Amino acid sequence: MKIRFEGAFIPYGCYWSTPFVRWQGSFGHLHPIEFAAEVARRALAERGIPAETFDELVLGMTVPAKHSFFGPPWLAGLIGCPGITGPLVSQACATAACVVAHAAAKVAGGGAGAVLTITCDKTSNGPHIYYPNPLGPGGKGESEDWVWDNFNCDPYAGNAMVETAENVARSAEISWEEQDRVTLLRYEQYKAALADGGAFQRRYMVLPIEVKDPTGRKVVVTVAGDEGVYPTTAEGLARLKPVLEGGTITYGTQTHPADGNCGLVVATRDRAADWPGTRG
């Protein structure tokens, strides 16, 4: 089924992202909501978009963090638009798509003229959650490592994400070699994005980012580009073994978790026309 969002637009240039930083990297100690607010304030200022112009904020988070109970209104206040709020969306690997769909439906339906969407997550040092169970043996509850346990078991399918990927590959007859070729193509496209000093990435990526210590006073590292993206060759991929015995997916062709955030504006054409940062 096709869904058309008539009258809802993503203005050219009104989107941004932190660089890719693989988990347990430079962003591993940052609070995802506070970090997202810092990046959004900078991105909006660079595009000449006043924070108070938005009618709603939609926050996408797949991994909970401290105080994310108050996620959308807290984030809105940190960005500089404390008078708005909106839903907190979490839908596993489809979180970002659902966030944008909600914003587009709201604008297309006339419920908002401009919606700010933010997605942020920290897979590093994921939370360990304890669930009380008064009927458990001795009243003992149940616990869950949010990131690891859910990567390794879909409660409905009863298997790990990589097993689902192998099932899809088997059903669609996607071979190991085909996956390697796609990985190489994507790496070549990535290298092209780095040409001319990263000219393509500079269209949307917020750089550089000064990462501070927990006190917020000392800069511990300056992130000037992606971290954790390694050179890929056909020979290197061919030498890797599948993650699962008898499978087709290797550590070279699977997606690796990362930390960071991104933002995107959905608006009517008239509202976007007022922003000097809008191009095209």
The two tokens of residue 212 are 């501070």
Q: In the structure, what pLDDT confidence band is assigned to residue 279 with cuts at 50, 70 and 90?
A: low
pLDDT one-digit tens code per residue, 59-75: 999 999 999 999 999 99
Range 15-125+258-272 has CATH code 3.40.50.300? no
Question: What pLDDT score does 275 carry?
Answer: 83
* Helix/strand/coil for 176: helix
Tokens (6 digits) for 72: 């959308």
Predicted confidence (pLDDT) per residue in 224-264, tens digit: 999 999 999 999 999 999 999 999 999 999 888 999 999 99
φ, ψ at 16 (rounded to 5°): -160, 165
Measured N-to-C along each axis, helices 71-79 and 32-46 cross at an angle, to the nearest 10 degrees, of 40
Q: Residue range 137-153: average pLDDT?
A: 95
CB 59 within 8 A of CB 86: yes
By the 8 A CB rule, do 126 and 147 touch?
yes
Query: Quick one: tokens of 157?
Result: 């399918």
Give the residue-averaged pLDDT of 191-204: 94
With a pLDDT cut of 90, the percent of the chain lying above it is 92
Token pair in block for residue 155 = 């409660």
Q: How many CB atoms lie within 10 A of CB 95?
A: 17
Report d(CA 207, CA 17) in Å as an integer. Answer: 9
Could you read off the pLDDT of 82-130 as tens digits, one per residue? 999 999 999 999 999 999 999 999 999 999 999 999 999 999 999 999 9
Residue 241 DSSP label: P
Q: Is the four-CA dihedral 221, 222, 223, 229 of positive or negative sign?
A: negative
Listed in sequence order, the DSSP H helices in 14-144 are 32-46, 71-79, 95-108
Cis peptide before 50 (omega within 30 of 0): no
pTM score of the predicted model: 0.94
Q: What are the b/e assignments for 179-208, b being 16+ CB within 10 Å?
A: bbeebbeebeeeeeeeeeebeebeeebbee
Reported as a single tens digit per residue, the pLDDT across 199-234 is 999 999 999 999 999 888 899 999 999 999 999 999
Question: Residue 179 above 60 pLDDT?
Answer: yes
Confidence at residue 280, expressed as pLDDT on a 0 to 100 scale: 44
- For the record, the structure tokens of 254 come out as 């699977």
